[in-house]
Structure 1
Amino acid sequence: MGYELIQEDGSKKVVRFTMDASDLGKIFRKVKREISKEALIPGFRPGHIPESILQKKFGNLIIAEVAEQAHRSLTEDFFDNFDWVLSDEDPEFENLLPVEGEDYIYTVTYKVFEAPEPVDYREVKVTVPAFDLDKAVNDTIDNIRTQFVEFEPTEDASAEGDMVILSYPAPDNSEDKEPRDISAVIGRNDMGPGFDELVTGVRAGDSFTLQMQMQNTKEGVETPSVPAHKFTVKEVRSHTYPELDDEFAKKAGGFDDMDKFREKVREDLSERHAAEMKSYKERLAVNAILENNQFDVPAFMVSNLKNDYLTRLEADQKDEAAVKAAEEMAESKVREFLLLRQIAIAESLEIPEQEIAEAVAGGDSRSAFLDRKRNEKALEFVLNNAIVEEKHPEEPSEGHGDTSAYPWKWVRVETEAAEEGER
């Protein structure tokens, strides 16, 4: 029982399959038992129908089922041993049916998919953000430090990092007329753009009126009227951060001294950044080689992967846009798989047989393991030969955080203008 590649003609592969009479006979007997149990023939109990009657009534069905099961048995590990990717064309079966008591020998002609030779996969350009590890360590420790901040009332003017507690009148439609209190830590941008700047330099007892106003409005476009709010500073609390000493290291990280804590932060940041950059560079490199290698892929592979993506969605999520996105993503992933496969073949990136055998012994499929490991090697090859450039991020503009994405900001208004806005 087995198979043999007997002819190759470009993308056409002719394979001869053979099953000896004894193994074929087992399938015949199995199929007959199954049909006998399910058939309803007057005068006979299910499972006790004479073979002559089965042959007369279900002979064609028996042969068709035996042929299907025999082929399924013969091809169980077929594609594990032939490193092919099939095309969209259906295999051509020799028109021979199994005969009980005889060897079953037939041929199948497969049309395999031939991806084009890969191009421009060496020295692809990959641009990544520059990473200052020392600065990242200091910023991380400073961020942890702010979590241990302590606030104390002060008569001084508010400054960066201080907490400002303000009160404002209750809304007119509120049953509770007691003033409301809010607090803001200057620098955190908790209240939206412009607010932190307006409450910097204030003292307890100060009052002022603030209003949210639209930014960058088009000429002639009427902007909605937003009520102004009168705020009174109830209290200013200055901030105190802990010293970066051994006591802080114990509180923040459970370390005996600050040097050990700093080293741990450095180690964690370095490992995390390396993992993030590896994934980031891989994605950029794959996008680059996909852009350089455009080709059509087998539609059945795209369809199978698309359906796999869609099964992960709820029924009400499978709208036209979701189906289209799933198809586009599937096409890209299939092309990525086939392209990396071709790069591995072009560069003779082999997987040791012992490694494959160990994976198969552990329950892995030979073909699946080979595809996975070979493509990993191909991607590693692309990255090792890539031109990686670092780009330093632009310096942030002055102020309390990036507020450019907001369509509005807080501004101070005079009392008369505020009253006019409320009317």
Structure 2
Amino acid sequence: MDIQLEKKNPTEASIKITLSEADYQPKVEEKIRDYRKKAQIKGFRPGKVPDSLVRKMYGKAILVDEVNHALSHALQDYLRENKINVLGEPLPQRKDADAIDWDKQKEFTFTYDIGMAGDFSLKLDEVKVTRYTVDVNDALMDETIENIRTQPQLSNSVEVDEYQEGDLVSGELKAEEGDFVNNGVLSPADLSEETRKLFKGLKKGDSVSFDIKEAFTNPAALATATGLSAEEAEKLEGDFTFTVEKINRNEPAELNQELFDKVFGPGVVTSEEEFRTKVRETIAENYDRESERLTNQKIREELLANTEIDLPDDFLKTWLKATNEKVSDEDLEKEYPMFARDLRWTLIQNKLAEENEVKVDTKEVVENVKEGIRQQFRSYGMGDEIEDMLDNYANNYLQEKDGQNYMQVYNKLRHDKVMEVVRQKVQLEENTVTADEFRNQLQQPQ
């Protein structure tokens, strides 16, 4: 066997593999002997089929299989032993295969085109990124607690006499022409601005008329209000009358033990002071997670902008076309820049992981999934009683989708570890901001 690497440029090369008869024929002979033992051909007892007949019937197919098998192993072994990190997959040159005479040739030569990334270096100490800390002040605390108290699942629904914005109204919705009638709940918040004005000050027994298509701008809200499917509700048209039978308002929940237990779990906090402290900690933790995500995103953008990585663009486009036959040339040109950007980030991340010896083992993957399952069951009020079942739950999840779930968790843990290392090496400028200022940062295009 002879293997030669020919570099066309820093990012593209070809690998020529020449197989001699000694590289594949022993396996061919072994397969033919195996076929003789198992072949069931009319007129011959099992194991007594003549060698010449087996070769005539199966010889060429066996030869093709064994040559391809030898080629595949030789190519992969060569790439691994020479530490050649290819992008995409090696592409065989079709002219070699088309020119083969399988009946006469004893020596076979195949050439594969490969693409590689150019060498690059990372200068983490030159990366400068701002990391934001949100000031959890009293105003933010009061706003958050008010939002908690008014959440539908926590607030108290009370019946009132006169409609105010935010109330829910129950009553009869009736077409002014036709037979349609439905009794149900209507949320004026789902209506157009002009229609909402009609409900201001309404009391039980009052009626209001509106054009059904102009009133509802959201098909899902129209379906809910009419009790019909989205398709059926879409067919409604004309003027409708809604007669108010009941008005309900969500009153903020009281700051008492019942609310504390619903929000943080039974007995976790037992006073308003402890509740406020716990809310403050939770707000800070949530904003810290968001800040870390934003910081990671900014670091990613800085590294992509300041790290020059040459890619074999022509090869990659050819490979993408070869593996996605339905992709048009127009779509390929449109989507390739994003593909190349993601590929550059993958290369950067792999280099960071290698240089900093970042590793993730199976135990970490399993434990991460188990913790996620624990949190899910805790939200249902279950605790220690599910511990004995966690291993089975986790293993079943990780084996689903042919191992894709495993790789998804693995890649996330690896990414988190890599970014943790990176944050320690780049220049982070700490900046304390208000919640509104931080939200504005999140809305900035990245």
Tell whether the 8 Å contact from 1:165 to 1:184 is kept in structure 2 after alignment.
yes
Partner of 1:255: 266
2:320 alignment counterpart: 302
* One-letter amino acid of the structure 1 residue matched with residue 253 of structure 2: P
| Cross-structure match for 2:398 | none
Offset of 1:149 from its aligned partner? Answer: 1.6
The equivalent residue for 1:31 is 31
- Aligned partner of 1:193 in structure 2 is 193
**In 2: Cα distance, 1:276 partner to 1:326 partner:** 34
3-state secondary structure, aligned to 1:201? coil
Contact 2:27 2:66 in 1 (8 A): yes
2:148 corresponding residue in structure 1: 141
Once the 2 structures are TM-superposed, how far is the Cα of residue 109 of structure 1 from its aligned partner?
A: 5.8
Whichever residue aligns with residue 339 of structure 1, its letter is R
Q: Which letter does structure 1 place at the counterpart of 2:148?
A: I
Deviation at 1:112, TM superposition (A): 2.9
Which runs of 5 or more residues in structure 1 are unaligned? 98-103, 216-225, 308-319, 395-423
Compute the TM-score of the two structures, normalised by the length of structure 2.
0.50
* Residue pair 2:17, 2:71 contacting (<8 A) in 1 also: no
Shift of 1:305: 6.2
Identity within the alignment, %:
20
Report the secondary structure of 2:158's partner residue. Answer: strand
Aligned to 1:150: 157
Q: Deviations over 1:158-181 (max 9, x none)?
A: 4345455555666443288xxx66
- Corresponding position of 2:354: 350
Please give the residue correspondences for 1:30-109 in structure 2 after superposition, counting only pairs within 5 Å: 30-36=30-36, 44-45=44-45, 47-51=47-51, 63-75=63-75, 77-81=77-81, 82-85=83-86, 88=91, 90=93
1:127 and 1:391 in contact (8 A); partners too: no
Unaligned ranges ≥5, structure 2: 216-236, 367-402, 432-436, 442-446
The 2-side partners of 1:191 and 1:69 are apart by 66
Based on CA coordinates, which of the two structures has the bigger radius of gyration?
Answer: 1
Higher helix share: 2
1:227-279 residue CA offsets vs partner (Å, 9 max, x unmatched):
55555555555653321222321245433335555566666666666666766
Give yes or no for the alignment of 1:246 onto 2:257: yes
Quick one: which of 150, 170, 173 aligns to 2:178? 173
Measure the CA separation in 2 of the matches of 1:171 and 1:147: 38
Match of residue 335 from structure 1: 340
Counterpart contact for 2:173–2:243, Cα < 8 Å: yes
TM-score (norm 1): 0.52
Farther off after superposition, 383-392 or 240-249: 383-392
Distance 1:233 1:35, change over 3 A: closer
Which amino acid is 1:340 matched to?
Answer: W
SS in 2 for 1:174: coil
The Cα of 1:189 is off from its aligned counterpart by 0.3
How many residues align? The count is 347
Aligned counterparts of 2:61 and 2:264: Cα–Cα separation in 1:
73
* Aligned 8 A contact 1:163 1:238 in 2: yes
Q: Is the 8 A contact 2:128 2:426 kept in 1?
A: no
Q: Secondary structure at the match of 1:159?
A: coil
Contact residue 168 and residue 229 of structure 1 kept, 8 A: yes
Measure the CA separation in 1 of the matches of 2:158 and 2:110: 81
Residue 159 (str. 1) matches residue 176 (str. 2): no
CA contact (8 A) 1:151 1:237 kept: yes
CA contact (8 A) 1:208 1:231 kept: yes
Q: Is the 8 A contact 1:146 1:241 kept in 2?
A: no
| 1:138 maps to amino acid | I
Q: Is the 8 A contact 1:297 1:335 kept in 2?
A: no
276-285 vs 247-256, which moves further: 276-285
AA matched with 1:302: L
Cα contact 2:2–2:17 (8 A) shared by 1: yes
Residues 42 and 159 (structure 1), Cα distance of their counterparts in 2 relative to 1, 3 Å cut: closer
1:56-115 alpha-carbon deviations (Å, 9 max, x no partner): 887666554443333344456554443331564639989999xxxxxx999876543144
